[in-house]
Structure 1
Amino acid sequence: MVKHSRGNRTRSRKLLKKSPRERGAVPSLGRLMLDLKEGERVVIKINSSTHSGMPHRRYQGKVGTILGKRGKSYEVKVKLGDKEKILIVRPEHLNQIKA
């Protein structure tokens, strides 16, 4: 018997599924060129068609704060239980919260 793998995307069939209208769509340029400032609040919404800079599925739907920029990605501080985690996420996986 072979052990089944437990990779980053296991048990994520419903979580990372796109609606029929979104399927096959590549992130728009506006979404890729999103300019976020330090201290802004964002929601992590994983785009399953873009694998680079994708956070772990446990962070899907979490709200975080932008700490800074690292290359094309952003450093996002997210509270998970009692701890605060710093994630490095590409802008395709972030939604800006309008204040």
Structure 2
Amino acid sequence: MTKRKKYSKEFKLDAIALVVEQNYSQAEAARNLGVNPNMLGRWIKESENEDGHAFRGNGKLTPEQEEIRNLKAQVKRLEMEREILKKATVFFAKETK
């Protein structure tokens, strides 16, 4: 089993620049860099679609993903608080009878 090769963000951006700015073909740039042409195409597509957030690395989230994570945590906390209040209401209703 071969280990996957990891490329740095700088390498990917330089490879994209060869195609986009210096007008190399994807195949030629990929051959010169020793990467698969399909991989280079995927990098180009990702850089176009991500608006500056491409190649963040492991664990680094876009601002939208970070907001979603925070909102999910807040929802979970509020649901727990609501359950506690429901149980307290039942408890105090029994005490007053």
Q: Give the TM-score normalised by the residue count of structure 2.
A: 0.22
Bigger share in helix:
2
Higher relative contact order (CA 8 A, sep 6+): 1
Bigger share in strand:
1
